Structure formats: structure tokens, C-alpha cells
Chains A and B, each alone.
Chain A
Amino acid sequence: MYVYDEIDQRLVDERVRQFRGQTERFLAGQLSEEEFRALRLRNGLYIQRYAPMLRIAIPYGLLSTRQLRKLADIARRYDRSYGHFSTRQNLQLNWPKLEQVPEILAELATVQMHAIQTSGNSFRNVTTDHFAGVARDEIVDSYVWCEIIRQWSTFHPEFSYLPRKFKIALNGGRADRAAVAVHDIGLHAVRDDRGEIGFRVLVGGGLGRTPVIGVCIREFLPWQHLLSYLEAILRVYNRYGRRDNIHKARIKILVKERGADKFRDEVEAEWAHLKDGPATLIHEEIERVAARFTRPKYEPLADIDLRTVNVPGFANWLKRNVQPHKVPGYAAVTLSLKKTGVPPGDVTSDQMDAIAGLADRYSFGELRVSHEQNLVLADVRQADLVAVWREARALGLATPNLGLLTNIISCPGGDFCALANAKSIPVAEAIQRRFDDLDYLHDIGELDLNISGCMNACGHHHVGHIGILGVDKNGEEWYQIEIGGNQGEIRPGLKAALGKVIGPSFARAEVPEVIERLIDCYLARRDSEAERFIDVVNRIGIAPFKEYVYGNADQRSARRRAEHAALA
């Protein structure tokens, strides 16, 4: 954890005071709806379908147990005793009262938390790899850089009223576990041949109604220039990004309209003025920030072989939910928030308290939120894994489905969100029920399935190997299916990609069946178990899948007859 100094704390406290005043002025009629809207959004407060929604920032997904307990406590006292971890590594409360929000923010400030810029047309939470600092393929510890960006982007005077929201993701490992190509700015840490740290800079990526894979505008940005270069990008965007149409206001549209080359030239021209200016980073600051992070005090241990542990169920969990660690004798454990029947990412207050207990006893009192909406205990002794698994299982957090079809990313959808065209949660649940056989699930192998309830794409459906999008047709909920998307280069050679729609949409009840047909097609066409669903889509294209799903009416009824015969 980055531990605030007196100034960090003061700024958060002052923000609480400022927002308290703004809320009072709104309630007294001194601020219009439109004005207060812009102000409350940048403090995380939405007005949703049934109630306000408060989005609490979890900077780059890193959380201490003290903070998690506070979240559990706030959810209990101000909400309905649960919260929702989002794909942006934040926590959302679905039922707070508007008048109480300043009070909630004051409570958060007591544990160095806030809801600053979790919404609105400003910088959003900087996100990163949930295995930062522990992954074996680490190039840099991304947390330090994320915190530096967090501070720079907090209350930035010039960029607090951007054309639209702005998301920066930074990845510090060789594998891209932060989906950087689908962010407004994506930063890949790299080292040059002298070992100096720099960043590969992507711009203009994003999901939403116009999904785009970001383009690289600089292969190597020396770390000293990180902030001045970001400032140059943001200044071009702030001045020239479209403000006439909310759907065309993201930086991706500007980059597209200008063309990547011209956009790069403008950024470079702007940067020529800002380079080596006051925003130039210095070693002392990198060291200062790094030193303010608490670090686990690892014991000298050796790796142990747990494959021989003969406890039913443990092996599957070990294979799916435990990742290697850069320190011998340790492992990173993912607690799955994807149990069938529970909305993806939802956790009760009691579970939060219990998870805090687990993290205190087994993982140095810290945990992470992944953009796949799970929680990670990053520093567990391998010798404790069986115990952690037992406890996690008792809490319903040990579903061994990481990387598998039922580890569904889903937005809250029409059950909560005012923007949604369709519900997402019941669709996720129906699919999880259809694929509840673990052996079958493991046989299908790695597969990302993502669901969004509308084209705003909070459920990242464009980058699911299978993506499901809720659409509205004459007031009815329908679902469009995409395949072939990929969130990022988690493995070498498999680039970030956007899915392609396979054809006309389906009624909700048909969706599990359609997914099953896609899987049947995959299983029939794969070369071996090593060839994943996404690999097969990339090899044979979407046409065979389309044929398998839609076929023609004759084929469909023949298939049904065959199924009935098999059942009989």
C-alpha cells in the first residue's frame, strides 16, 4: 500500500469539505441540476435507476484489510450490506442516500480512501496488472508509476473539465494483464538496451459504442518525461477533443479523425514546449513514492510441490486460481467472485470482513481487485495454500474457474444501471448454470466470456473471446453475440483484438444454448486441447461458428431430433 503523507491526507480531507459544501448548495437550490451533476460525478456519485450509486476509488486495485473492513462497515451502515467490485478495480455501492454521501466520504478519508474522479469528464482511476509486484515476468513495479500518475492526475487544474472521461492503464510485466490497448492511454513499461526504464505509449484505445484498439505513438518514452508527455497528450485532447456530441468526445475519436500520424505530430509539437519543464520526474520522487509503499516481509522459503497433495478439489483450484510468485515459497491466490448464483463482482459485508481476516492471516494484510472482478491475495506462503483454499471454499470464494468460461466479467446491467438496455446478471447466471460441470469446463479450457448490458461496454464484451451485448429491440431485451475478442497480449503473439458479431441477436432464454453451440463448434474443430477457443476462432474465422449457431432450419430441427433421441 502507498501510505499517505500529511499532504495527501489533507487534500482528501479538503475534498470532503468541498463536496459537503457543494451538496449543501445543491440541496439549498444554489446549484443547478446540471452544475451539481458535473460536481457529484467527479466525486463518484451517480443517480441510478432506483437510487444513487457511489463509486469508491481503489487506486490501481490495491487495498489494505483496514480499508476493506471500512468498506464492509460503510456498506452495512449506509447501504444494503454488500458492494460490487467493478472492471475498473473500484467498488460500487448501489443504495446510498445522496444526503449521506459527504458523510461516507468523510469515513473513507479516515482510511486514506476517497471517491475522487471515479466518474465525470476527468481522469479516472489508473488501473494496472493485479499481479504487479509479484509476477515473475515483471519489468517494473507498476504500483510506483501508477501512484505517480494518480497524484499528477488528481485535481489537475488544466484537465478537470475534459471533453469526456479519461482512463489510463499501465502494465509493468511482459504479459499485458492490464488490457492497456483498450484505454485512452495505455502504457507498457519497457527497458532499453542500457536497462533504463521507459514506456511504450498507446493512445485512443477504448471500448464503448465505438471500440478501438489503441495505436502506439511512441515506442520508448524515458521515465523522466512520463508526466510532461501525458500533459502534452492531454492538452491536445482538451483543446481539440469534440464537445458537441457526447458519443464522439473520447480521445479515440480525435485520434481517428486526425489520423494517428497527425495526432502524434501535434503531441510531439506540444511536448517540445513542455519537455524538461517542471513536470520532469526526478529519481528522488520515484524513490520517495516507492519507499511509502508497505512491502511484505517475505521469509526465506523454498518452492514446494503441491501437486501431490491428495485432497479432492484442491488440485483444480491450485491449477486455476493460484499463480506463481517471484519470491520462492510464495504464490498469488485469486478469490473468485464468480460463484454461480451471485452477481459477478458482488461481495457482502460479512464476506469482506472474512476476506480481510484471510488477508491478515495469510497475505500481509493486503489484497488486490482485478479488472476481471475477482480479489487477489498476492503473497500467500505455498505451505498455507491448502488452509487458504479450505477457508475460501467455506466462504464461497474458491470456485476454480479462473480463466474459464464461468469466470464471467459482467456489468451490473439492467437490474441496477439506468443506461442498460438489458439485464446482464441473469444471463451470466444462466450460462454458469449451463456450464456447471467442472470437468467439462476444464476440458473447454481457457475462455473469457464478457457481458455488457448496453453498448457502453462496462462488461468489456468487445474483448471477450465470447462477448455478449444486451440490445433493445422495441422495448424488449435481446442479446448480440461476438466472438474473437481478446483483452491483451497475456501470452506472446495473441494481440488485443475486438470481437466480431456472429449474426442477428437472440432472446435471453436462447443465450446459454447459443454459447453451447459455439463451444460445440470449438470442440469439434480444435486441433488439440492446447488450442484454445480464441486460437480456433483466429485460425478458422467466425463463419464455421456462425454456421454452427444459426445453420438452417432443417439442420436445427435435425439437431434437436438427434438430441431427443440421445436423451431417450
Chain B
Amino acid sequence: MGGTSVEDLKPGDHACLTFSDHDERLDIVAAFVRDGLGLGQKVLCLTESVSEAALAEELAGRGLGIATAARSGQLAVGPSGLFFAPQGSFDPAATIGRWQDQIDQANREGYSGLRVTGDMCWALRPVNGVAELMAYESRLTRMLAGQNATAACQYDRQCFDTLTLATAADSHGMNVTAVTYHHDALLRICRQHVPTGVRVAGEIDYRTIEPLTRALSEALALDDHIDVNLVHLRFMDTATAGVIVQTALGLTGGQRMNVRCAGMPWEILAALGLGELTGVTMTAVRHDG
């Protein structure tokens, strides 16, 4: 299931955004919002599993200057249930109508386009009309094509069943996923969009030196300042700690690397002297439990 990177979305695109965990969702949503604001588009974030306040906080926490955009109305964060199923039922035609209203309004307000991302988990509830969801998604794909609007519908891989996910992938024009360097039951290595970097979660050892090295060098090719997010890394061996130290030693000129980690990975990297290297910052992160 080849996916498109969120950064490649263009006006007219209707994407099915799938993700494996909370952090990955927020990272992709943050990139979607960042790119929209940067392009002068109006951005609408419809959320449900994450509260509106928490989403705004997460976006700000990732370094997006959203306060000004929220004040001016360029960015709006709202509940997805209200957009898709007001009064508790889902009406595809009415929802398509609301889309057209939003697009027209963004154009009238002088924005260069509209970007909407919606958390689709409302559809997991027994909402009246939800059986029409995939027909609606296909219709929305056709409706958005040629319009100055981009949509990314968030389908949580942990919550939706495989059949729904496959149908969702078909009814959208494209599939947006994290850029993944390695994924198995123990370990996931992904590109992190905001801030640019790499996210490694689970347990890592010498068998995945190659994808880790590739992920780090690709991140450095994209940005001079990368964030190495090891917050959810539970186990790290000496060989992979060595890859991080080597990457840090290879930093040139203005390149910088911030390594966020907890527990043994922090202790190992600190013992190896990572934090003493030029261009490296180490941030110890507390686990909430």
C-alpha cells in the first residue's frame, strides 16, 4: 500500500490519511496545517479523538505559530461530529453542500484555497446514515477534483476494520501515510514532519542499522536542524546508539540535531558522550507512565 507523503498534497486532492498511533497522526496533521498556512490557504481541522484545545496545544507544541492564524480566522479547529453528523445523523448530500459552502467562503475571504482535515472516528459510532460513508467519499473525490481545495480524512488503523480501510483507500484519490523506514511488531522508524526528523518507537537493535541510518541521512538532507524523537523507544543496543553517535559526528557546518529520549536510551547515549558533540542537544523526556 504505497502512500503519498503529506507534503505532496495539492489542490483538488482528496486523501485518505491512515496512521498507526497518536504521535504519528498529530505529526501528519501538523505538516498538513503548516503547509496550508504557509501557502495562504484557509485551514479547517475537524477533530474528535483529540479535543479541540488539546489539538491546538499539540500544534503549537510542535512549533507551529498558530495563534495569529487562529485569531485571523485562517485556521479553525472544530468538532468533526458537528460537521459530518449534526443532530446525530449523516447526510452525504448535505455534507457535500457544506464542503461547497466552505470552499466558496474561503474564496470570498481571499484565501488562496481551502484545506480540511477531518478525524473520521465519529463514523465508528452507530450514526444514522453512516452506511453511505464510502459512497460519499467517492463522491467527494470527484467533487474536489478541479476545485481549489484539499481534504485529508483521518482513518485510524487501530480502530477501523481492514475492509473499511481498504474501501476507504479506494474511494479516496490517494492514500497519505507516514514515510516509513521500518515497521514490524517491535519497531517503527518513520520520518517526522514537524519538526523535521526521525521518530523511532519500540525496540531497536543492530538488525535495523540500515533503515535507521537511511532515515537519519534523509532527514539531514531535508533540513539542517533535525529532531531525533526516541521518546517511545523502550530498548536500544550499543550498535544503534553508535549509529546516532556517528550521525552526530558527521554533522557539518550549520547542521544540528536534537535527540529526545528517556530511560536507558538516554543513559546509553549520554554515557557515549553524545551530548558533548558539536551541534547536538540531548533532551531527557519523562514518561507519563
A interacts with B: no
Could you tell me which B residues sit within 8 Å of A by CB distance? none
Could you tell me which A residues sit within 8 Å of B by CB distance? none
